[in-house]
Every structure is written in structure tokens, then in C-alpha cells.
């Protein structure tokens, strides 16, 4: 069972890797894009001086070969979502094709967004997307919500992390009602609300169901007395003792909760979330930024929300925006691979990327005269919070960073495909991960044989955002997102146009 949530990060120690804890404590047009994405300052339309130890954005224009490669990757990654979803329910597995027993509500959130991308790129027709989206939303809306341990799919509008693919109910007693996985689902729901705008009966129903699903989430119920959001709840144990605190993918959680007028949070919650940021701001591998070790934490919120040129007071005090912060995190990871303090095989300027991903397995063995301990699924990363590395590289780390730093992310994807593509690139794009330092009698390196929805999603969404800004543009139209950002104190950039709009524009039920 897989999760991106690594709560022990905030305790400044490596995450517990036990399977139970990981489960329970759980994101031709390229030529034009190359001319648009010339650097963060130009993208955002906001001038600021780069903080110390920062590498300035580089102009980047993709070659025709890069255009073809990224276009192929995007289509293959989309196809994973289209093929893996159950056509009768719309549910999407955590991983596919290796294990289709557990469905992931986070995968569903990415999938709902993927269908809109499919329409834009003409992979599917709009009508196909409408029908698949309606199937999904209808099913999710009808799933039972109650406090029972085995007869519910969620409670208070939140959903369990994993659902049984046969029944849609909670997979097993180890699975928590997940605040972050519900947020990932709701990002997809809000995308539907703002993409399907035609005046047809089906698209009206999509909008109505989207409103109903989102407005049912009782964020106040998940809020703890100190205004932080809990990571989850279970009938057996109540609220988890871990909270969303400090820079991470939890950013989206607070923005969604601040953006709803029903069961919503107050701005004090954003301040509670920011409380530990100063401890994690600093220099790491030549970059000064707000650290979070695995790259998924720098990708998930940005996959839907356009943080270019908008700032809250905290990030404004550092002279950057959160988009620039993520770009620096990507460069720090690349610099770490070049430095390669662990002497892992294959690491270089174009072969890098640590995030939560599969691994060869929990095993210790001797490689090239060195005793190495390898990991199974784990939150790998490098930062001031912790460093965890066993030589496993996840293509989603670079693929989900294309919009931040295409000048280093695309060459990395090209190199990994060229050197390892026979084993890691197939029908659905890049397999989840590979490890050039792990050898056995069958092949020269370990390569995963499956794909994870929460790793496929960032590749697809961020490649499209780099190509056209499509997901960002769609989500800019969301009254929930705009209100949430304003409630959190964001200002400047594209938010200037909507700063005076009343919160009543957020749609309610019906």
C-alpha cells in the first residue's frame, strides 16, 4: 500500500518504512511553450531579486526531438488513466497493471483532470470525457458516507485512502480516512466543475455533482484545536496524531479548506501551517529555498494551482514565489546527483530524481565491494529535513518538474529513456522507478514493472501545464481556488484581477 504522506519529516527523522505505517499515514505546441517558459520572472510577470545561492532561470527552447519525446510521453501517460479506470465506476487503481484490487481516490483526482487533457490533445472526444467523468462523479457521490468500519467509503465528505475495487468500500481496517487523498480527489472535482461549462444536460450534471461532492467535505471537522488539519481519521482510533504542518503537498489542503464557504477554515489555519517554515528555509546543494526532501511535495499543489507571480507574506519576505521555490528544489536535486555523496551508480547531471516511489525491496547486499541497504516503497529525497537515498531514481521526479525547470528536466527524461528505456519505458510511458546500483543475475539493474497513479499524475499534468498552461488556466476560473488563495493572504499576479470579487461567487449545492 502506498502513500506520499511522510509525517516523520516534521520530526526531523527518516520516515518509518513499515508497510502498515505507510498505509495508515498517508500528484507542435511545445515549440510555442519553449518561447513562453523562458524563466520564472518572465512567466510570473512579477519582478523580484533572487535570494542568495539561487541559480537564475535559463532560457530554453525544445528541439524537434524533444517535442516528439514529450508529446509521446504525455499521450502514453494519459492512456494509463484511460485504460486503468473501471468503465463501470470510474475508480482508478493505486497501481496498474500489476495490482488492481485497491483503488486510490488520489488516482481518481488525477484521472478526472486527465480526461480534460485528453480532450484538449484530441486523445479522446469531449463526449467520451463527459461520459467517463459522469460515471465517476455519480459513483463517488452515491458511495456510503458513515462512521462504520466496514460499510463506508468515507465520512464527513472525506474518503478513505484506498477503496475496494469490487465494492467501493474501505479496503481494510488499516486504511485511514485521508485528508490529503481527499484533497487530491477534490482538485480533480474542481477541475471538472470549471472545464465542463457547456449548456448541455450532461455538463450541467457534472457541475452539479462537482458542487455537491466538494461542498460535502467538512473541513472544520478535520481541524484540530490549534487550527491545524489532521492527516486523517479512523473508526478504530479517531483522529491521527499527525498534523499538516510545514511546507509540503498539504498546501493544497489548506487552500481548498479556506476556499469553501461551507465547513471552511479561517486564515488562522494558514498561519498555523506556516509556523515551522523558518526551520526549513536554507541552503541545500547550492540552492536557498523552503525545503521538503521528496520532489512530490513540490509538485502536487502546483499541478493544479498556478503559483507563478503570486505570494503570501511569508514567501514574499524571501523575495520569491512558491513556483520559484519549487524550481530551486529541482536544481538542488540535480546538484545532489552530480555531487553523488553516496557514490550511487548512474547518477549524473541528466540522471537524477528522488521522490516517494517503488524500490528494489527491503534488502541488504554487497554491490561493488560496498554493503548497501535497499528499500521497497519509500519517501526518498534530499533536503534540510532529511536525506534518504538508496540509488533508486523515479522518472516522475523529473517528469513532474518539467514546468519548473524544463532546461534540466527534459534532458533528464531524454537521457533516462535513451539509457534505460528498454526496461523502463513502455505502453504507459515511464515505469515508476529504476535502480542502476541494484544488480542481479537477470539484468544489470533493477527496473520496476508497474505504474502508480500518484506518480503518473504529476507527469501528465505538469507536462501539459508546460506546453499550454491548460490545467492552471482552468483552475484559475475556480472561485474556490481564488477565494482560498485570497483567504491565505496571497496577492499580486493573476489574483489582482479577482481580489475584489465577493466570496458568494462560490457555488453551493444545487
Domain assignment of residue 247, yes or no? yes
pLDDT in tens, 64-94: 999 999 999 999 999 999 999 999 999 999 9
Domain assignment of residue 485, yes or no? yes
Domain assignment of residue 66, yes or no? yes
Going along 122-176, which residue ranges are E strands?
Answer: 154-155, 158-159, 162-164
C-alpha distances out from residue 455 to 9, 202, 299, Å: 20, 30, 10
Model confidence at 173: pLDDT above 80: yes
Domain assignment of residue 510, yes or no? no
CATH number where 255 lies:
1.50.10.140
How many structural domains is the chain composed of?
1
**Residue 99, pLDDT score:** 79
**Residue 46, pLDDT score:** 41
**Residue 384, pLDDT score:** 93
Q: How many C-alpha atoms does 79 have within 13 Å on its Cβ side?
A: 13
Set of cell numbers at residue 165: 475495487
Q: Which residue has the higher pLDDT, 459 or 5?
A: 459
Domain assignment of residue 2, yes or no? no
Q: Which domain holds residue 34?
A: 7-505
Indicate the pTM of the whole model: 0.89
If you average pLDDT over residues 192-196, what whole number do you get? 98
Domain assignment of residue 42, yes or no? yes
DSSP string, 8-75: GGGGTSPPP--HHHHHHT---THHHHHHH-S-HHHHHT---PPPTT-PPP------HHHHHHHHHHHH
C-alpha distances out from residue 83 to 110, 147, 396, Å: 14, 33, 19
If you average pLDDT over residues 137-161, what whole number do you get? 98
Domain assignment of residue 262, yes or no? yes
Amino acid at each position: 500500500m502506498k502513500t506520499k504522506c511522510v509525517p516523520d519529516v516534521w520530526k526531523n527523522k527518516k520516515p518509518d518504512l513499515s508497510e502498515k505505517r505507510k498505509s495508515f499515514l498517508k500528484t507542435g505546441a511545445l515549440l510555442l511553450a519553449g518561447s513562453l517558459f523562458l524563466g520564472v520572472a518572465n512567466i510570473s510577470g512579477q519582478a523580484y531579486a533572487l535570494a542568495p545561492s539561487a541559480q537564475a532561470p535559463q532560457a530554453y527552447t525544445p528541439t524537434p526531438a524533444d517535442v516528439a519525446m514529450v508529446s509521446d510521453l504525455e499521450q502514453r501517460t494519459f492512456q494509463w488513466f484511460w485504460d486503468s479506470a473501471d468503465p463501470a465506476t470510474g475508480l482508478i487503481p493505486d497501481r496498474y497493471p500489476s495490482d488492481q484490487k485497491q483503488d486510490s481516490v488520489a488516482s481518481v483526482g488525477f484521472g478526472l483532470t486527465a480526461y480534460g487533457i485528453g480532450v484538449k490533445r484530441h486523445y479522446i472526444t469531449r463526449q467520451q470525457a463527459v461520459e467517463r467523468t459522469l460515471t465517476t462523479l455519480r459513483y463517488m457521490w452515491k458511495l456510503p458516507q458513515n462512521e462504520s468500519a466496514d460499510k463506508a467509503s468515507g465520512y464527513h465528505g472525506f474518503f478513505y485512502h484506498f477503496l475496494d475495487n469490487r465494492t467501493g468500500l474501505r479496503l481494510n481496517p488499516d486504511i485511514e480516512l485521508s485528508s490529503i487523498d481527499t484533497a487530491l480527489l477534490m482538485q480533480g472535482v474542481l477541475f471538472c466543475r470549471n472545464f465542463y461549462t457547456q449548456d448541455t444536460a450532461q455538463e450541467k450534471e457534472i457541475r452539479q455533482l462537482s458542487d455537491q461532492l466538494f461542498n460535502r467535505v467538512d473541513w472544520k471537522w478535520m481541524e484540530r484545536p490549534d487550527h491545524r488539519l489532521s492527516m486523517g481519521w479512523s473508526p478504530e482510533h479517531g483522529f491521527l496524531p499527525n498534523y499538516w504542518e510545514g511546507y509540503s503537498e498539504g498546501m493544497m489542503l489548506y487552500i481548498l479548506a479556506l476556499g469553501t464557504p461551507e465547513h471552511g477554515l479561517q486564515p488562522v489555519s494558514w498561519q498555523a501551517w506556516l509556523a515551522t517554515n523558518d526551520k526549513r528555509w536554507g541552503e541545500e546543494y547550492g540552492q536557498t529555498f523552503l525545503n521538503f526532501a521528496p520532489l512530490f511535495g513540490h509538485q502536487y499543489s502546483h499541478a493544479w494551482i498556478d503559483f507563478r507571480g503570486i505570494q503570501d507574506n511569508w514567501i514574499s519576505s524571501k523575495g520569491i514565489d512558491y513556483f520559484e521555490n519549487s524550481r530551486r528544489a529541482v536544481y538542488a536535486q540535480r546538484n545532489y546527483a552530480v555531487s553523488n555523496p553516496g557514490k550511487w551508480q548512474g547518477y549524473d547531471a541528466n540522471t537524477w530524481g528522488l521522490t516517494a516511489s517503488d524500490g528494489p525491496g527491503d534488502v541488504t547486499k554487497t554491490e561493488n565491494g560496498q554493503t548497501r541497504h535497499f528499500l521497497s516503497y519509500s519517501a526518498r529525497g534530499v533536503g534540510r529535513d532529511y536525506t534518504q537515498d538508496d540509488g533508486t531514481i523515479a522518472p516522475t521526479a523529473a517528469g513532474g518538474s518539467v514546468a519548473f525547470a524544463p532546461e534540466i528536466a527534459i534532458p533528464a527524461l531524454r537521457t533516462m529513456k535513451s539509457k534505460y528505456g528498454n526496461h523502463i519505458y513502455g505502453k504507459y510511458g515511464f515505469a515508476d522507478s529504476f535502480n542502476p546500483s541494484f544488480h542481479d543475475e537477470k539484468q544489470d539493474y533493477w527496473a520496476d514493472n508497474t505504474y502508480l497513479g500518484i506518480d503518473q499524475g504529476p507527469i501528465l499534468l505538469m507536462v501539459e501545464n508546460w506546453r499550454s498552461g491548460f490545467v492552471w488556466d482552468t483552475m484559475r476560473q475556480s472561485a474556490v481556488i481564488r477565494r482560498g488563495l485570497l483567504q491565505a493572504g496571497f496577492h499580486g499576479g493573476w489574483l489582482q484581477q479577482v481580489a475584489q470579487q465577493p466570496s458568494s461567487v462560490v457555488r453551493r449545492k444545487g
